[in-house]
């Protein structure tokens, strides 16, 4: 074919291709363009062919075609623009950028090109330059909603949220139904805490397109932030149905289920999410947290060790591993592995508050007080306003008798609590200078936190046999102070009138006490490895009438079990000397001394008083026949022995002032204390020296088996009680061993227990009403040995006659109380 004929033929094919394209006959147009170009390489043909391929989103061949056009016509702005679009659409914004700039250098009035350049710059992480490009675009196309939206994205990336919001609103003014802009504006509202506005944006998006997963995700995030957990689960589930292979909505659903307390479903969603993102350490860690919440320690550890094996520098995985191992301390785990994991976590992320907090918590459980204090102080430095760390630091310094800055810390904590602070454990306030109203306020806030997301379990109708079904819930059914007090009571319960079940959430230490407690009740149920929900369901399935909580807010409490309301009547007794402030606890058992008439308003529970001391005692507590010598016990051969075997956290600087004056006033006397942590002895000896008392006048008693511990009370002359938190079990031990106790009546339940014990045992004259009177009485007794002899004789007689040591009488009184409770609080129509 002649050259002219070839050119004419190529031109004709080009015209036919363009016509086919305009008429929508793409299958005809493509080969026509190809045939034309085979005959003659022409920039115009390449440009028209590129436009067709771009319209089809066939960006790779479109880019090749535009590049060919550019070789033939290096100055072609159309070729530059087409190639820019092709590079950009294929995810290569850096290659697109110079072509956009070439176009704009010649045609600066092209608003669309400025907008596209802005997008390319934004995608390269250059939001400042992107902002300039978008503003240039808006000078030429001020009504373009998409450009206003893009400007908002750039401003948001620059941290200028208010300006970003204004830009989004400009976009919506021009296109009220633009879903992406609605979503972005909703996200800003959510971040600013304007939850209703965020929800409105999500609802508008869903109305425009019910299949828009982003709409449902925004609704889910707004509901989550507002604490509307059921709604968050519902709307996130819609998002997952719309996009089952998208990890983002599935993770939101898993998180919503987790915070709702629906751990089994959360675990299933996290596992599904790992199927989509199998190497996501964050998701695996979240799964482990939920498994731990289900008390599946083995499953949680397996997940975490797998994560650490693949990601050895993932700090959160080490932190949660340490937390899981720490929680397992109650099951007999050794603390070293937990502490090692947490040390690794804080080394990897020294600015992570949670890591230091967990290190402090596990060190506390492991009785590594120095490490705990160090970790909690680090939390305080990182986040001075964080209340839980301050509360735990105060408690740990009490345990160590580290008083140098304790008054200031305690004052700060009480001030925050009175200002309505959350995260202040009520138990720590019992040993502080707080009023009953303070303790109720803190307990109510704590109870609400513990009950958050906990739904009541169903209580099926369980046929009975006419007996009241009593359940005791505790983690202390082993060698523990609570068990020492109530073992005989459990044995003395009237099985003709009461069906008694013990629900254990603590360790089985294999001790004689564990065996004794197991035999003492009709049924002994181990719930240690059951989740809170499963444990509550098990109790409900047993048809328990009255569930008695023996833990309150002390260590290893399982408050969420009680929050699920497994029993129609729930009682706070023995383990926690104060109100629980919870609407799921109906009654607190006390006596007329611990809660005097007129103070009922300080308790959220109804107050029911036993006729004598609320605290039971076990007459079978053995006292070793052999009394150790003074030398064996580290005591001087001569001299008066004041003693206090209370936990060190109950000691206070003000009380220690009194004790130091007693030692100075009684020559040759010593103060015999429980050793506790090794820090205690050093700190107290320093405090003694500061008060003019030689360090050697403080003697520390190491732990001993109970029978031997009781026997060494014979070496002491007088037990000095603590305030504001009295001796409880330790006072009972002293009285049972024949050692008089001097106490000062406090302002709260925790500070009146020793007064109740002494009144019941027949020694009310040992109860004082002020620290001045307490000091005077102790000094008088130390200088009057004959009077002490008389008191010890009366105690010896009381062992066989006092209601304090009469477990049979106590069991009868307690059973009368249960009948009264059932009559007053049991379900109507089922009171027997």
In a domain, 224, yes or no: yes
Reduced to 3 states, what is the DSSP secondary structure of residue 547?
strand
Reduced to 3 states, what is the DSSP secondary structure of residue 570?
strand
Residues 389 and 492 in one domain: no
Q: From residue 730, how far is each of 77, 726, 737, 807 by CA, in Å?
A: 92, 9, 10, 18
Residues 473 and 577 in one domain: yes
Residues 291 and 355 in one domain: yes
In a domain, 71, yes or no: no
Q: From residue 264, how far is each of 252, 289, 350, 496 by CA, in Å?
A: 16, 12, 33, 40
Q: pLDDT tens digits, residue range 96-116? A: 999 999 999 999 999 999 999
Neighbour tally for 623: CB within 10 Å: 18
Q: From residue 375, how far is each of 321, 378, 535 by CA, in Å?
A: 17, 5, 33
Residues 278 and 219 in one domain: no
State the Cα–Cα distance between residues 441 and 435, nearest whole angstrom. 10
Reduced to 3 states, what is the DSSP secondary structure of residue 154?
helix
Average pLDDT over residues 132-157: 94
Residues 430 and 292 in one domain: yes
Which residues are CB-contacts of 235 (< 8 A; sequence separation ≥ 6)? 202, 216, 219, 220, 223
Cβ burial of 381 (10 Å; 0-12, 13-18, 19+) is exposed
Q: Hey, CA dihedral for 48, 50, 53, 56, is it positive or negative?
A: negative
723 phi-psi bin (left φ>0, alpha ψ -120 to 50, beta other): beta
State the Cα–Cα distance between residues 179 and 102, nearest whole angstrom. 33
Which residue, 395, 414, 437, sits at the end of a domain? 437
Return the CATH number at 411: 1.25.40.10
Residues 200 and 346 in one domain: no
In a domain, 17, yes or no: no
Domain that holds residue 730: 641-805
Please spell the DSSP secondary structure of 52-97, one letter per residue: HHHHTT-HHHHHHHHHHHHHH-TT-HHHHHHHHHHHHHTT-HHHHH
Closest CA to 741 of 678, 792, 793: 792
Q: Which two tokens stand for residue 762?
A: 């027949």
State the Cα–Cα distance between residues 263 and 254, nearest whole angstrom. 9
Residues 595 and 662 in one domain: no
Q: pLDDT tens digits, residue range 743-800? A: 999 999 999 999 999 999 999 999 999 999 999 999 999 999 899 999 999 999 999 9
- pLDDT for 48 equals 87
pTM of the model: 0.79
Q: Phi/psi at 467 (nearest 5 deg)?
A: -90, 150
Percent of the chain beyond pLDDT 90? 87
Q: What angle do CA 736, 432, 652 make, to 5 degrees?
A: 65
Kindly state the helix (H) or strand (E) to which residue 743 belongs, with its residue range. strand 741-744
Residues 795 and 701 in one domain: yes
In a domain, 61, yes or no: no
Q: What is the dihedral of CA 454, 460, 463, 469, to 10 degrees?
A: 0
Q: What angle do CA 577, 580, 583 make, to 5 degrees?
A: 150
Q: Which two tokens stand for residue 510?
A: 């294999």
pLDDT score of 414 more than 60 = yes
**What Rg, from alpha-carbon coordinates, does the chain have?**
38
452 pLDDT tier (thresholds 50, 70, 90): confident
- pLDDT for 329 equals 57
- pLDDT for 290 equals 95
With tokens 């360090």, the residue in question is 695
pLDDT score of 665 more than 60 = yes
Q: Phi/psi at 553 (nearest 5 deg)?
A: -110, 35
In a domain, 375, yes or no: yes
Q: pLDDT tens digits, residue range 368-406? A: 999 999 999 999 999 999 999 999 999 999 999 999 999
In a domain, 473, yes or no: yes
Return the CATH number at 598: 3.40.50.11380
Reduced to 3 states, what is the DSSP secondary structure of residue 676?
coil
- The answer to whether residues 291 and 325 touch, using CB atoms and an 8 Å cutoff, is no
The length of the chain is 832
76 phi-psi bin (left φ>0, alpha ψ -120 to 50, beta other): beta
Total domains in the chain come to 4
Q: pLDDT tens digits, residue range 276-302? A: 999 899 999 999 999 988 888 899 999
Residues 501 and 353 in one domain: no
Cβ burial of 668 (10 Å; 0-12, 13-18, 19+) is exposed
Q: pLDDT tens digits, residue range 172-205? A: 999 999 999 999 999 999 999 999 999 999 999 9
pLDDT score of 704 more than 90 = yes
- pLDDT for 2 equals 66
Reduced to 3 states, what is the DSSP secondary structure of residue 701?
strand
In a domain, 300, yes or no: yes
- The answer to whether residues 568 and 545 touch, using CB atoms and an 8 Å cutoff, is yes
Residues 570 and 675 in one domain: no
In a domain, 207, yes or no: yes
Percent of the chain beyond pLDDT 70? 98
- The answer to whether residues 88 and 115 touch, using CB atoms and an 8 Å cutoff, is no
Q: pLDDT tens digits, residue range 634-654? A: 999 999 999 999 999 999 999
Q: What is the mean pLDDT of the chain?
A: 94
- pLDDT for 333 equals 57
268 pLDDT tier (thresholds 50, 70, 90): very high
State the Cα–Cα distance between residues 124 and 118, nearest whole angstrom. 10
194-229 burial string, b = 16+ CB within 10 Å, else e?
Answer: ebebbbbbbbbbbeeeeebbbbbbbbbbbbbebebb
Q: Phi/psi at 421 (nearest 5 deg)?
A: -65, 145
- pLDDT for 214 equals 93
Residues 705 and 750 in one domain: yes
Average pLDDT over residues 307-324: 95
* Residue 36 exposure: Cα atoms within 13 Å on the Cβ side: 24
pLDDT score of 526 more than 70 = yes
- The answer to whether residues 492 and 516 touch, using CB atoms and an 8 Å cutoff, is no
Of 46-55, 208-217, 332-341, give the lowest mean pLDDT range: 332-341
> Which is more confident, 66 or 344?
344
pLDDT score of 543 more than 80 = yes
Q: Hey, CA dihedral for 780, 786, 790, 792, is it positive or negative?
A: positive
State the Cα–Cα distance between residues 176 and 197, nearest whole angstrom. 15
State the Cα–Cα distance between residues 451 and 558, nearest whole angstrom. 11
Kindly state the helix (H) or strand (E) to which residue 641 belongs, with its residue range. strand 641-644
- The answer to whether residues 83 and 76 touch, using CB atoms and an 8 Å cutoff, is no
Residues 605 and 673 in one domain: no
């Amino acid at each position: 074919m002649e050259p002219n004929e070839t050119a004419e033929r190529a031109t004709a094919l080009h015209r036919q291709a363009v016509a086919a394209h305009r008429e929508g006959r793409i299958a005809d147009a493509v080969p026509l363009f190809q045939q034309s170009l085979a005959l003659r390489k022409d920039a115009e043909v390449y440009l028209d062919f590129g436009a067709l391929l771009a319209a089809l989103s066939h960006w790779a061949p479109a880019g090749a075609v535009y590049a060919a056009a550019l070789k033939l016509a290096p100055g072609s702005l159309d070729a530059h623009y087409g190639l820019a679009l092709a590079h950009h659409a294929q995810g290569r914004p850096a290659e697109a950028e110079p072509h956009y700039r070439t176009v704009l250098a010649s045609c600066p009035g092209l608003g669309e090109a400025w907008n596209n350049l802005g997008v390319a710059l934004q995608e390269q992480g250059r939001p400042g330059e992107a902002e300039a490009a978008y503003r240039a675009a808006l000078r030429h196309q001020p009504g373009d909603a998409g450009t206003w939206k893009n400007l908002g994205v750039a401003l948001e990336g620059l941290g200028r949220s208010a300006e970003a919001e204004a830009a989004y609103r400009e976009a919506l003014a021009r296109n009220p139904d633009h879903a992406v802009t609605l979503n972005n504006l909703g996200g800003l509202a959510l971040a600013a805490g304007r939850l209703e506005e965020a929800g409105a944006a999500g609802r508008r998006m869903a109305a425009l397109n019910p299949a828009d997963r982003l709409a449902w995700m925004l609704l889910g995030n707004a509901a989550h932030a507002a604490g509307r957990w059921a709604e968050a689960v519902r709307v996130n589930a819609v998002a997952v149905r719309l996009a089952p292979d998208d990890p983002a909505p599935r993770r939101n659903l898993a998180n919503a289920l987790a915070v709702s307390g629906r751990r089994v479903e959360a675990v299933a969603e996290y596992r599904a999410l790992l199927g989509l993102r199998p190497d996501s350490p964050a998701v695996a860690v979240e799964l482990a947290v939920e498994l731990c919440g289900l008390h599946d320690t083995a499953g949680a550890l397996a997940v975490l060790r797998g994560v650490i094996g693949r990601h050895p520098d993932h700090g959160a995985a080490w932190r949660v591993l340490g937390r899981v191992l720490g929680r397992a301390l109650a099951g007999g785990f050794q603390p070293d592995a937990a502490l090692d994991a947490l040390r690794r976590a804080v080394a990897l992320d020294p600015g992570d508050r949670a890591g230091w907090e967990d290190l402090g918590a596990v060190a506390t459980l492991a009785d590594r007080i120095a490490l705990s204090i160090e970790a909690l102080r680090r939390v305080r430095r990182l986040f001075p306003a964080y209340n839980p760390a301050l509360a735990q630091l105060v408690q740990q310094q009490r345990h160590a008798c580290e008083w140098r800055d304790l008054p200031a810390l305690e004052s700060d904590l009480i001030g925050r609590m009175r200002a309505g602070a959350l995260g202040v454990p009520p138990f720590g306030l019992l040993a502080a200078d707080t009023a009953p109203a303070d303790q109720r306020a803190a307990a109510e806030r704590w109870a609400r936190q513990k009950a958050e997301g906990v739904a009541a379990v169903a209580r099926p109708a369980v046929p009975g046999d006419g007996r009241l079904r009593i359940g005791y819930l505790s983690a202390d059914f082993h060698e523990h102070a609570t068990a020492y007090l109530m073992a005989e009571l459990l044995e003395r319960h009237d099985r003709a009138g009461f069906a008694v079940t013990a629900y254990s959430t603590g360790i089985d230490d294999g001790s004689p006490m564990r065996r004794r407690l197991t035999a003492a009740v009709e049924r002994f149920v181990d719930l240690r490895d059951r989740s809170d929900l499963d444990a509550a369901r098990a109790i409900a399935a047993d048809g328990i009438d009255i569930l008695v909580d023996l833990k309150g807010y002390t260590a290893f409490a399982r408050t969420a079990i009680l929050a699920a309301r497994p029993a129609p009547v729930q009682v706070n007794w023995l383990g926690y000397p104060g109100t629980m402030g919870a609407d799921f606890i109906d009654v607190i058992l006390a006596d007329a001394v611990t809660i005097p008439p007129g103070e009922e308003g300080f308790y959220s529970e109804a107050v029911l008083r036993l006729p004598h001391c609320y605290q039971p005692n076990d007459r079978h507590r053995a006292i070793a026949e052999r009394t150790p010598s003074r030398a064996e016990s580290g005591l001087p051969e001569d001299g008066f022995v004041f003693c206090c075997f209370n936990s060190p956290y109950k000691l206070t600087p003000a009380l220690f002032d009194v004790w130091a004056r007693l030692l100075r006033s009684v020559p040759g006397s010593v103060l015999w204390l429980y050793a506790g942590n090794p820090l205690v002895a050093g700190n107290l000896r320093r405090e003694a020296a500061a008060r003019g008392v030689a360090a050697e006048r403080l003697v520390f008693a190491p732990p001993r088996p109970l029978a031997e511990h009781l026997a060494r009370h014979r070496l002491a002359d007088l037990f000095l009680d603590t305030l504001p938190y009295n001796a409880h079990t330790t006072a009972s031990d002293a009285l049972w061993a024949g050692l008089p106790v001097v106490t000062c009546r406090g302002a709260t339940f925790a500070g009146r227990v020793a007064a109740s014990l002494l009144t019941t045992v027949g020694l009310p004259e040992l109860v004082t009403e002020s620290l001045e009177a307490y000091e005077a009485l102790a000094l008088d007794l130390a200088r009057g040995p004959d009077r002490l002899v008389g008191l010890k004789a009366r105690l010896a007689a009381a062992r066989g006659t006092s209601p304090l040591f009469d477990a049979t009488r106590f069991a009868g009184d307690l059973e009368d109380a249960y009948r009264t409770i059932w009559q007053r609080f049991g379900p109507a129509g089922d009171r027997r």
